[in-house]
Chain A
Amino acid sequence: MSEILVKTRDLSKVFAKGKEKVEVLRGLDLDIEQGDFVALMGPSGSGKTTLLNLIGGLDKPTQGSIDVGGQRIDQLRSSQLSKWRARHVGFVFQFYNLLPVLTAQRNVELPLLLSKMSRSERRRRAATALEIVGLSDRAKHYPRELSGGQEQRVAIARAIVSDPTLLLADEPTGDLDRETADEILDLLQILNTEHGKTILMVTHDPQAASHARHTLHMDKGSLAKAA
Chain B
Amino acid sequence: MTFLHLVRKNLGRKKVRTLFTALSIVVAFILFGLLGALNQGFSGSVSLAGVDRLVTIHKVSLIQLLPIAYGARISNLEGVEAVSHYTWFGGYFQDPRQQVFSTPTDPDTFREVYAEFEIDPDQFQAWQNNRVGMLAGKSLADTFGWQVGDRIPIGSTIWPTSDGSYGWEFVLEAVYDDGDPANTNEQQFFFHYEYFNETRQFGKDLIGWYTVKISDPENAEAMAAAIDALFANSPTETKTTTEKGFAQGFVDQVGDIGAIVRYILLAVFFTMLLVTANTMAQSVRERTNELAVLKTLGFSDTRILVMVLSESTLLSVVAGVLGLMLAYVAVGGFAASVSQFLPGLALTNATLVLGLVLTVVLGLITGIAPALSAMRLNVVQALARR
Contact = CB atoms under 8 A, between A and B. Distances in A.
A and B: bona fide binding partners: yes
Interface of A: 49, 53, 56, 58-59, 78-79, 82-83, 85-87, 91, 93, 95, 97, 99-102, 106, 109-111, 113-114, 119, 122, 158
B386 A95 contact: yes
Nearest to B13: A101
Contacts of A102: 1, 6, 9
Contacts of B5: 106
Most interface-central of A83, A95, A97 (chain B CB within 10 A) = A97
Interface residues of B, number: 27
Interface in B290-312: 290, 293-303
Interface in B344-386: 379-380, 383-384, 386
Given A53-B380, A93-B383, A97-B289, A109 B298 contact: no
B1 A82 contact: no
Interface string B4-47: 01100110110000000000000000000000000000000000
Given A102-B1, A109-B1, A82 B298 contact: yes
B3 interface: yes
Nearest to B287: A99
Given A95-B386, A97-B289, A106-B1, A83 B297 contact: no
A91 B293 CA distance: 9
A36 B271 CA distance: 58
Contacts of A85: 296-298
Contact of A82 (B9, B300, B384): B300
Nearest to A60: B380
Nearest to A49: B384
Contact of A101 (B12, B294, B384): B12
A29 to B, nearest CB: 22
Majority DSSP secondary structure for residues of B touching A? helix
B10 A82 contact: no
A110 B10 CA distance: 13
B2 interface: yes
Nearest to A59: B380
Contacts of B12: 101
A34 B185 CA distance: 83
Given A78-B301, A79-B301, A82-B295, 16 more contacts: A53-B380, A58-B379, A58-B383, A59-B379, A79-B302, A82-B298, A85-B296, A86-B297, A99-B9, A109-B1, A110-B1, A110-B6, A110-B294, A113-B1, A113-B6, A122-B1
A181 to B, nearest CB: 19
Nearest to A90: B297
B1 A111 contact: no
A78 B3 CA distance: 21
B298 A87 contact: yes
A108 B2 CA distance: 13
A74 to B, nearest CB: 15
B300 A79 contact: yes
A100 B10 CA distance: 10
A158 B303 CA distance: 19
Contacts of B2: 113, 119
6 contacts: A58-B380, A78-B300, A85-B297, A91-B296, A99-B9, A119-B1
A146 to B, nearest CB: 17
Contact of A56 (B290, B294, B296): B296
B8 to A, nearest CB: 9
Contacts of A99: 9, 290, 293
Nearest to A15: B380
A78 B210 CA distance: 74
Nearest to B9: A101
Contacts of B296: 56, 58, 85, 91
- 5 nearest CB pairs, A to B: A86-B298, A82-B300, A101-B9, A97-B293, A85-B298
